[in-house]
């Protein structure tokens, strides 16, 4: 079974919306304008590209990333790996042609089936709504969280408010940086 890894920039109060400056959110760009940049805190982002063998995105994140990431040198490893987009509305005509092989999945059941295929880790970037569904369905195996020392209030959250049984996590990697940023890597305990 393939490992499904959710990676996120997240505020201390759980917000993941518009960390890189995406339009339409009051605190857009909070990862770079409100916290001093310390390069070593972002080492995990490069490691993720080297370790992942596929990327999974929700429709909104795909539509935000696909016009930009294919031409960014810092995301070169992602350009060549297979991508999967979970959407009930996207069509093949909506997919960009310069970002490698992309497959549309229509349901979380199809994500579960993808996890059963041969291959290495699948990384999920952004995709707040998709992450909530994946977590609630028990499909996420690991979290890579860069926790920013900010309280953003309103905004899309990584975790749903669904009333469910406790889901235990095991901390497998942790580091705190001088700017207050924390790297937390958790495995989901099954």
> What's the pLDDT score for residue 22?
87
State the average pLDDT for the chain.
96
- Whole-Å CA distances, 57 to 37, 41, 106, 131, 148: 26, 23, 12, 9, 22
135-170 pLDDT tens trace: 999 999 999 999 999 999 999 999 999 999 999 999
Greatest extent of the chain over all pairs of C-alpha atoms, in Å: 46
Spatial CB neighbours of 89, under 8 Å, sequence gap ≥ 6:
59
- pTM of the predicted model over 0.85: yes
Residue 34 has pLDDT above 90, yes or no: no
Residue 134 has pLDDT above 90, yes or no: yes
Q: Which residue has the tokens 């977590």?
A: 135
> What's the pLDDT score for residue 10?
98
**Cβ atoms of residues 183 and 145 within 8 Å:** yes
What is the percentage of the chain residues whose pLDDT exceeds 90? 96
54-112 pLDDT tens trace: 999 999 999 999 999 999 999 999 999 999 999 999 999 999 999 999 999 999 999 99
CA 161 from centre of chain: 18
């Amino acid at each position: 079974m393939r490992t499904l890894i959710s990676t996120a920039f997240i505020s201390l109060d759980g917000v993941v919306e518009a960390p890189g400056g995406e339009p339409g959110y009051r605190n857009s760009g909070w990862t770079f304008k409100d916290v001093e940049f310390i390069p070593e805190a972002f080492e995990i982002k490069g490691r993720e590209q080297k370790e992942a063998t596929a990327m999974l995105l929700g429709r909104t994140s795909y539509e935000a990333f696909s016009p930009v990431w294919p031409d960014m040198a810092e995301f070169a490893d992602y350009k060549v790996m297979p991508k999967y987009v979970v959407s009930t509305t996207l069509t093949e005509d909506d997919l960009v042609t310069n970002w490698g092989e992309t497959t549309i999945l229509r349901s979380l059941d199809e994500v579960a089936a993808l996890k059963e295929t041969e291959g290495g880790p699948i990384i999920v970037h952004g995709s707040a709504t998709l992450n909530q569904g994946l977590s609630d369905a028990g499909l996420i195996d690991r979290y890579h969280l860069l926790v920013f020392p900010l309280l953003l209030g309103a905004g899309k959250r990584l975790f749903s408010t669904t009333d469910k049984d406790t889901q235990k996590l095991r901390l497998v990697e942790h580091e705190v940086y001088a700017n207050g940023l924390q790297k937390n890597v958790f495995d989901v305990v099954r």
